[in-house]
Amino acid sequence: MDDKGALARSLATTELQFAAREVAPNLFAMSMNTEDSLREYIRLFVKNPLVSTFGPLAKILDFVANAAPGVKEILAVGKLCWEVREHNYDIVIVDAEATGHIVAQVDAPAILSGLVQVGVIREQTKWMQEILHDRATTGVVIVATPEEMPVLETMQLLDTLQNTTNVGVSAVVANRVHDDVVQGGDIAVFDALWQAVQSNAMPSDIGDALRAPMQLLNVATERRKNEVGNLEQLVARSRECGVMFMSVMDIDAHDHDVVTRMTQVLKDELQ
């Protein structure tokens, strides 16, 4: 929905367009463009191809799409619902816009149906809502990193989606979760070791060998402690849909490599 080339890079393909393209066997990708969506809408529902190409009229339509409240949102979400309704694909996965925009997007048909009393669009918002509100058909997946702000935003988004829309949440994914540096009973040993290094409670050559590596790892240990607290909150709030965990990947991994590895993790999680 917010294409800056990241999806194309992730799929190791060339720039994506509004027209869907098969980028791998049985995997199609497209990039949303509301102007093209409007043209397709006119072609499908006004059934007059000249209308969308007729100069001044096309400009007016673009102007309305940009300025009238909700038009951009309905054009985007309408296109997605259309693909679902027509069964053009078995599943449609939407890389949605930022957190702040998602509610306006999934709720656009409901809002528009409250504003528009009659006309073709009124009818169309009905089937869009049926698709969006059917938990067996549509679900929002919220992805958050385990830091404080993204976790709080996710919890707020869960509240907003539940309280103001009829769209269900299928899952929450905690992404880029760090592993524990040490686990279980070793944590106390690690902490005692760090204390001993800091207080010079061991021969200096041993302390020197441990000090710098432990100092480097302490950043990760502290961060992990915070992550655990944040994730506990996230899990408690997400009981209804559950949380999946995705470990942090190497920083130098190429985008497509990350996708391949994430695919494997998701496969394991979902089995």
Partner 1 sequence: MSSLRNVLENGRLVVVTGSGGVGKTTMSAALGAYAASQYNRRVLVLTVDPARRLADALGLESFGNAVVEIESSALARNGVPPAGRMFAAMIDTKASWDELITRCAPTADVRDKVLSNKLYRNLTERFVNSHDYIAMERLFEAQQSNDYDLVIVDTPPSRNALDVLDAPRRMKEFFASRLLKLLTSQAQSRLFSLAAKPFFLVADRILGARFLSDITEFFTLFRTMEDGFVKRANEVEAVLKQQDTSFMVVTTLESAPLHEAEFLIDALRERGFSLNTVIANRVTPQEFVSQAQAALNKLEASIQDPSFVQAVVKATEVVEPTAGQISRVVSTIARKSAEAVRKGDAELTTLDTLRERSAGSQAELCICAISGAEIARATALVALGESVHPA
- Ranges within 223-252 binding partner 1 (CB under 8 A): 223-226, 250-252
163 contributes a contact to partner 1 by CB under 8 A: no
Q: How far apart are CA 42 and CA 149, in angstroms?
A: 42
Sequence-ordered list of residues with C-beta below 8 angstroms from that of 259, at least 6 positions apart, any chain: 10, 11
Among the residue ranges 23-31, 42-50, 125-133, 231-239, the one whose residues contact partner 1 (CB under 8 A): 42-50
**Which letter does DSSP use for residue 27 in this model?**
E
Name the nearest CA neighbour of 142 among 81, 95, 180, 184. Answer: 95
One-letter identity of residue 143:
V
Q: Where are the alpha helices (DSSP H) in 147-203?
A: 148-164, 186-198
Residues in the chain: 271
Among 216, 264, 270, 271, binds partner 1 (CB under 8 A): 216
Question: CB 209 → partner 1: shortest distance, Å?
Answer: 4
- Ranges within 12-41 binding partner 1 (CB under 8 A): none
Nearer to partner 1, 88 or 218 (CB): 218
Number of H helices, E strands in the chain: 11, 5
Nearer to partner 1, 137 or 221 (CB): 221
- Ranges within 76-135 binding partner 1 (CB under 8 A): 97-101, 103-104, 107, 111, 115-122
Among the residue ranges 20-28, 81-89, 133-141, 253-261, the one whose residues contact partner 1 (CB under 8 A): 253-261
